[in-house]
Amino acid sequence: MEMALDVPDLPLGMLTDIHLKRCEDVLLESVEKLKSEKETGDKADAMWSDFSQRWFTLMPSTRPYIFHDFNDIADHAAAAFETVRDITVASHLIGDMSGSTLDDPLFDRYKRLGCSISPLEKDADDYKMIENYLEKTYEPVKVGEVSYGVSIENVFAVELSACPSLDEIKKLPNKVLLWCGTRSSNLLRHLQKGFLPAVCALPVPGYMFGKAIVCSDAAAEAARYGFTAVDRPEGFLILAVASLGEQITELTSPPEDIKLLEEKKLGVKGLGRKKTDESEHFVWKDDIKVPSGKLIPSEHKDSSIDYNEYAVYKPKQVSIRFVVSVKFEEKDVEYDLADSEN
């Protein structure tokens, strides 16, 4: 419903693999064509209109419109496709819960995840470490005139069968504990199958590193992907260990040749306009770097991204370790008690 894909006669929560593959092919082909075209004026408008019509034929919307730039594609085509793909995985996993089962239906679905989930006690060292990491690297998100802070509801330690274990990831070089954002609708898929690289390369934040898995050292960046609402302010953040490999490429803008990074599987660090204070960084679990620290201005004032971002191209370079349940709260809002009583 958030993405206007709730067409009553054409539910998109349980698509076939063939349909999803067709959506992906059209998206990839169209993006490459639009990126390489030099046309302007009416011819360019016609190309964008053609893609828009093809896309909303495959992904029917209650609010179809004409895409005008790559930000539109990122927000309303690529992100929508990835979310619908993940909802489909969740729909198949949950299935029909009215059928008979020897186990409790919820426990039966939990077993299908292939992922162990354990709540952390609030006095546990890892809980305190995560709480500190969140507090240091979060900045209030402003929506209109209202700013939103964040607080932790619960922290869950997870062990996915689809991801490298902590012992396996510790054997890899240049490991960093990083924040990753997720919609609630993507969460089941992440827990069952791990992270997937972005579906396409776009010259906009979030997709500028190509078909990569992108995380950040700033909880403020990950929180942008929570997509909560006033009536349901709860969301999730993920903490994962990412191995950046032996060679790390640093960038402040989209690279000229994204395919080279994808082919060489190089680790990439996007340098943001803000960074975490390096004097506060520390090491966790022997040699995993935690870039926790107060957010301060960096020397890269002309960077195209707000915060540092880290990209890897192999799912086996990332191990999801924690799911952090958070609540977004309005800050500095005063309500008229007389009106509320009325």
Least confident of 103-117, 253-267, 307-321: 253-267
Number of other CB atoms surrounding residue 145 within 10 Å:
6
pLDDT for residue 234 is more than 90 = no
This prediction has a pTM of 0.89
Structural Rg of the chain based on CA atoms: 21
What pLDDT is attached to residue 106?
A: 84
pLDDT for residue 223 is more than 70 = yes
Is residue 40 very low, low, confident or very high in pLDDT (cuts 50, 70, 90)?
A: confident
Give the separation between CA 100 and CA 78, rounded to whole angstroms. Answer: 38
Contact 269, 310 (CB under 8 A): yes
Burial grade of 167 (CB within 10 A; 0-12, 13-18, 19 or more):
exposed
pLDDT for residue 162 is more than 70 = yes
What pLDDT is attached to residue 339?
A: 47
Residue range 148-162: average pLDDT?
A: 94
pLDDT for residue 255 is more than 80 = no
Three-class secondary structure of residue 281 per DSSP: coil
Residue 324 vs residues 119, 121, 178, 180, 187: alpha-carbon distances, Å = 10, 13, 12, 10, 11
Give me 299's structure tokens: 């020397």
Q: Reduced to 3 DSSP states, what percent helix, strand and coil does the chain have, rounded to the nearest 5?
A: 35, 25, 40
Instruction: Show the domains of the chain with their CATH numbers.
Output: 1-113 (1.20.142.10), 115-331 (3.90.228.10)
Contact 161, 57 (CB under 8 A): no
Contact 55, 77 (CB under 8 A): yes
pLDDT per residue as tens digits for the range 3-39: 778 777 777 778 899 999 999 999 999 999 998 888 7
Give the separation between CA 71 and CA 278, rounded to whole angstroms. Answer: 32
pLDDT per residue as tens digits for the range 199-221: 998 888 778 898 999 999 999 99
- The strand ranges marked E within the chain are 115-119, 141-143, 146-160, 175-182, 213-216, 234-243, 248-251, 267-270, 274-276, 282-284, 288-290, 295-297, 309-312, 318-331
Phi then psi dihedrals of residue 237, to 5 deg: -120, 150
pLDDT for residue 95 is more than 50 = yes
Give the separation between CA 342 and CA 338, rounded to whole angstroms. Answer: 6
Is residue 105 very low, low, confident or very high in pLDDT (cuts 50, 70, 90)?
A: confident
- Give the percent of the chain with pLDDT over 90: 61
Give the separation between CA 178 and CA 318, rounded to whole angstroms. Answer: 10
Eight-class DSSP state of 2: T
